[in-house]
Structure 1
Amino acid sequence: MTIETFPGWANALAQALGLTVLEREAGADYHQWLVDFEGSRLFLCFQHYADCAWLEALSGQDEEVAVWLTGQWNRH
């Protein structure tokens, strides 16, 4: 994945996992999208230099949701 291909990939992932994209932020070397999953707020992040994408919970109570969604993500 590249910084240019992340949006298409992330939109497909959001649709597959049932995530609602609330906000999109992008910089020269990153993307950070605020998403909602059944009331849990998370960031879907991509860092160009690390060549890595991940989900990050906004609160401790959403950590389990982020872990579960990551498991689902790995199946797609």
Structure 2
Amino acid sequence: MITFANPTTQKMASGCESLELTEAGTWESFPSFAAKFVEQIGATVIEKIEAPDMHLWVIEYEGTKLNFVYDDFPNGVSVEPLNKNGQPAINKLYKLVREQSQPNGL
């Protein structure tokens, strides 16, 4: 199971909050990491988009489409709502990730 040292949320320019998972990782490691994480949370990959400085996967998590992003500047992996309707899914995912990242599941 993938766990994170300090998952947080961060306010976006849209006013929504993104789930910031980690500042670790590389361009090369993101696809295998992302595939494992998507499976872990029970999501489905809808689309994969690659740009010179980022991977952007559109995923569906519990009926809601979200952006799963690796950006190399600043380096980090995040999950972002497409709009305000996606915020409840981000909040639920944040809670799940924090629970899974606690020592001994506590």
Relative to the length of structure 1, the TM-score reads 0.89
Identity of aligned residues (%): 24
1:5 corresponds to which of 29, 40, 47? 29
User: Which structure would you say has the larger RCO, counting Cα contacts within 8 Å and 6 or more residues apart?
Assistant: 2
- Structure 1 segments, 4+ long, off by >2 Å, are 70-76
Give me the whole-angstrom Cα distance separating, in 2, the residues matched to 1:73 and 1:13: 10
Q: RMSD between aligned alpha carbons?
A: 1.3
Question: Which structure carries more helix by proportion?
Answer: 1
Secondary structure of the corresponding residue to residue 28 of structure 2: coil
1:20 corresponds to which of 23, 41, 44? 44
Secondary structure of the corresponding residue to residue 7 of structure 1: helix
- In structure 1, runs of 5+ residues without a counterpart are none
How many residues matched?
Answer: 76
2:82 corresponds to which of 58, 61, 74? 58
Q: Deviation of residue 67 (structure 1)? A: 2.3
Q: Deviation of residue 69 (structure 1)? A: 1.0
Q: Please name the residue that 2:11 is paired with.
A: none
Mark the structure with the bigger radius of gyration: 2
Secondary structure of the corresponding residue to residue 13 of structure 1: helix
Relative to the length of structure 2, the TM-score reads 0.66
Aligned amino acid, residue 14 of structure 1: V
Secondary structure of the corresponding residue to residue 14 of structure 1: helix
